[in-house]
Amino acid sequence: MEATLPQQKEKKSSLPDGAAQTLEGRLLCASHASYNISQPYFRGATYLPHTTAKRVSRSINSVLIGYTVDGIVLAFRGTIFDSALDWFQNAAVLLSPGDKKDGIPGSVHVGFYRAVKSLWKGVKSVLLQFLQDHSSPYNNNETQNVYLTGHSKGGALATLAALLMHNDASLPNPTSVITFGSARVGDKQFKVGYESLVKQITFENDLDIIPFLPLSNTDREFMNEKMKDKMDRYVSFSFFE
């Protein structure tokens, strides 16, 4: 599936009109656009004019790949709220060792791993095409930047895709992974191995439960204490002051 993006005025010396002013902001816009390419998010993400963003989809899993002022961006779509199948996939919280040929350390979320594997052949094909066909007027480096991003489930898929990309000799290493409210991907062994290979920044909202899933006993105690503190302050302010 392809989506031709509206033209926007190029500015060699500055960001295009409507652009988010930080890399993190632009990738947040791209994460939103992965659900639906619409104003103002495609402008905020700075998809380049006269280029075509391509969507790779398999069942409920989807990723939008496009060229922005920062380089090639892979934005993985998160959970579709009214999709029962999507929620069933999220609920497949069993941790299992990844395929050895993928170089996955430790054990990972079965549902997310299957999801990214279902997309990977198409993602790799499109990414190779982009690497060969496009060059950014905003990037003076010979090596093209490739960023992976996503919200919620999309963040988890971006994490796993970054590792597949890192371990594929035909692809460059990802420049960085920036996710928003991402669900957990794997166990401690996975975390240690992943952080030694890939640069990632994760943004989370206070009391957003998704980044804690699946919950451990320690997580449940922490969330209960935080929620109790929030409720105590709310009740005190609302009814007694």
Q: Does a structural domain hold residue 211? A: no
How many structural domains compose the chain? 1
Domain assignment of residue 155, given as a range: 2-204
Percentage with pLDDT > 90 across the chain: 45
- Which is more confident, 91 or 32? 32
Q: Is 216 within a domain?
A: no
- Stretch 138-149: mean pLDDT, rounded? 77
CA 176 – CA 167 distance, rounded (Å): 15
pLDDT score recorded for residue 238: 39
Instruction: Specify if 214 maps to a domain.
Output: no
User: What is the structure's pLDDT at 219?
Assistant: 53
Q: Tell me the average pLDDT across 207-224.
A: 54
* Nearest Cα to Cα of residue 65 among 150, 142, 137: 150
Q: Quick one: pLDDT at residue 214?
A: 56
Distance from C-alpha of 28 to C-alpha of 18, rounded to nearest angstrom: 14
Q: Taking residues 11-21, report their average pLDDT.
A: 75
151: pLDDT strictly greater than 50 = yes
Q: What's the pLDDT tens digit per position in 180-201?
A: 988 888 888 999 999 999 999 9
Assigned domain for 57 exists: yes
Assess contact for 17 and 9: CB atoms under 8 A: yes
In this structure, is residue 7 part of a structural domain? Answer: yes
CATH number of 58's domain: 3.40.50.1820
SS (H, E, C) the chain: CEEECCCCCCCCCCCCCCCCCCHHHHHHHHHHHCCCCCCCHHHHHCECCCCEEEEEEECCEEEEEEEECCEEEEEECCCCCCCHHHHHHHCCCCEEECCHHHCCCCEEEHHHHHHHHHHHHHHHHHHHHHHHHCCCCCCCCCCCCEEEEEECHHHHHHHHHHHHHHCCCCCCCCCEEEEECCCCCECHHHHHHHHCCCCEEEECCCCCCHHHCCCCHHHHHHHHHHHHHHHHHHHHHHHHC
**For 27-77, what is each residue's pLDDT tens digit?**
999 999 998 866 678 889 999 888 889 999 998 899 999 999 999 999 999
- Banded pLDDT at 209 (limits 50, 70, 90): low
Q: Is residue 48 part of a domain?
A: yes
238 located within any domain: no
228 domain-assigned: no
Instruction: State which amino acid sits at residue 160.
Output: L
Take residue 10 and report the two structure tokens written for it: 């190029």
Distance of alpha carbon 2 from the chain centroid: 19
